[in-house]
C-alpha cells in the first residue's frame, strides 16, 4: 500500500490539544512501545526519511509508560498490544488520565473488533496495523499529533474492518451512518468499564474474581454484565464469554 495513494481515515472522538509537536515544522516526538526491535528500527528509519517525526525513546513493555512520558514528553505514544508485562490497555488508560495532552496510537499486527473497541474506550486517538506502509503509519501519527479536532485516525485497512464485512466499533464509524451493522458495531455502545469487564469475562474470570480485580462489588459486576448483554443482544453469560473470545477480548 502506498501512503501517497491513500490517506488514513478519520473519525470524530473528543477535543484534545497536541503537545510536544513544536509546531508543524518541527518533528513530532514519538515514544515507541514495542518489543520487536526490527519494527522499531524500521519506524526510526522512516522517520528520518520523512523528516516529520522522530522516535525520541522506546520501551519493550508498558510497565513504565507514564513515567517515561513524564520524562521525555513525547507528542505521541505509539503502542503495540501484545507485549510482556502489564496490560497495555490499562497502561494506556492510566496515561490518558495522567497525561491527557499526550496522544495515544495503537499499532498492532492484528485488526480485531475487540482490540479496536478497547483502544477507543481507553482514550486512544488512532489505530494502525503493522502491515500498513511505514510511511503511512508515520503520516497517520503526525496527523494525530497535529489534530485539534480530536479525531480517531485509522488506516484504510483498519477502516475497512470497521465499516466493511458487517463489522465496526461504533463511534469511529459514526461518520458513515449508512454503513451499519454487524454485531460488532454495537461494541461502540459499551462504556470503558463495560469493555474492561468484557475482557475479563473473556479471560475466564468469575464474577467474584472480576469484582476483586476491579475493586468493585459482585453486584456491580452483575449490573455491568446485564447491561452488556442487553446492548449486544446476548442472552447468557456463556454466550457473552464466547463473544469476548471470538472478538479478541480474551487476548487484549
Cβ neighbours of residue 186 under 8 Å, at least 6 residues apart?
A: 170, 231, 232, 233
Exposure class string for 178-214: b at 16+ Cβ within 10 A, else e: eeeebbbbbbbebebebbbbbbbbbbebebeebbeeb
- Show the CA angle centred on residue 113, arms to residues 111 and 115, nearest 5°: 70
The mean pLDDT value for 14-30 works out to: 60
Torsion of CA 151, 139, 146, 93, to 10 degrees: 60
φ/ψ region of 34 (left if φ > 0, alpha if ψ in -120 to 50, else beta) reads beta
* pLDDT, tens only, 103-114: 999 999 988 878
Which CATH number applies to 9-173: 2.30.40.10, 3.40.50.2300, 3.90.110.10, 3.20.20.70? 3.40.50.2300
Domain residue spans in the chain? Answer: 9-173, 190-251
DSSP 3-state assignment of 41? helix
Task: Taking each helix axis as running N to C, give the angle between helix 88-98 and helix 65-72, from 0 to 180 degrees, rounded to the nearest 10.
Answer: 40
* pLDDT, tens only, 109-142: 988 878 888 888 888 999 999 999 999 999 999 9
CB atoms within 10 A of CB 173: 23
Take residue 215 and report the three cell numbers written for it: 475493586
Residue 10, beta-bridge partner list: 153
Torsion of CA 194, 102, 111, 44, to 10 degrees: -160
Which residue would you say has higher pLDDT here, 4 or 76?
76
β 151-154/126-129 pair status: parallel
Indicate whether this model's pTM tops 0.75. Answer: no
How far, CA to CA in Å, does 31 sit from each of 67, 72, 198, 236?
Answer: 12, 8, 29, 42
Cα separation of 84 and 82, whole Å?
Answer: 7
Can you give the pLDDT at residue 186?
A: 64
Can you give the pLDDT at residue 16?
A: 36
Residue 8 is classified by DSSP as P
Among 82, 40, 38, 81, CA closest to 59? 40
Do domains 9-173 and 190-251 share one topology? The answer is: no
* pLDDT, tens only, 181-235: 334 456 767 887 888 899 899 888 999 999 998 899 999 999 999 999 998 889 8
CATH number of 190-251: 1.10.10.10
Which residue would you say has higher pLDDT here, 166 or 180?
166
Amino acid at each position: 500500500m502506498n501512503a501517497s495513494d491513500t490517506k488514513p481515515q478519520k473519525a470524530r472522538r473528543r477535543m484534545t490539544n497536541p503537545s510536544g509537536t513544536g509546531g508543524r515544522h518541527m518533528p513530532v516526538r514519538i515514544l515507541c512501545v514495542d518489543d520487536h526491535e526490527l519494527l522499531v528500527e524500521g519506524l526510526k528509519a522512516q522517520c528520518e526519511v520523512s523528516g516529520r517525526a522522530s522516535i525520541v525513546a522506546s520501551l519493550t513493555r508498558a510497565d513504565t509508560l507514564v513515567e517515561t512520558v513524564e520524562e521525555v514528553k513525547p507528542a505521541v505514544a505509539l503502542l503495540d498490544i501484545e507485549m510482556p508485562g502489564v496490560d497495555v490497555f490499562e497502561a494506556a488508560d492510566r496515561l490518558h488520565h495522567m497525561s491527557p495532552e499526550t496522544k495515544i496510537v495503537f499499532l498492532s499486527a492484528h485488526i480485531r473488533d475487540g482490540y479496536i473497541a478497547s483502544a477507543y474506550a481507553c482514550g486512544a486517538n488512532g489505530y494502525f496495523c503493522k502491515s500498513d506502509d511505514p510511511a503511512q503509519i508515520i503520516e497517520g501519527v503526525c496527523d494525530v499529533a497535529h489534530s485539534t479536532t480530536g479525531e480517531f485516525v485509522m488506516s484504510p485497512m483498519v477502516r475497512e474492518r470497521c465499516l466493511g464485512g458487517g463489522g465496526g466499533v461504533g463511534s469511529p464509524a459514526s461518520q458513515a451512518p449508512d454503513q451499519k451493522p454487524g454485531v460488532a458495531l454495537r461494541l461502540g455502545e459499551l462504556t470503558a468499564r463495560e469493555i474492561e469487564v468484557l475482557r475479563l469475562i473473556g479471560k475466564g474470570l468469575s464474577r467474584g474474581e472480576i469484582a476483586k480485580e476491579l475493586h468493585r462489588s459482585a453486584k456491580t459486576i452483575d449490573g455491568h454484565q446485564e447491561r452488556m448483554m442487553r446492548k449486544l443482544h446476548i442472552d447468557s453469560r456463556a454466550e457473552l464469554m464466547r463473544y469476548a473470545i471470538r472478538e479478541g477480548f480474551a487476548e487484549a
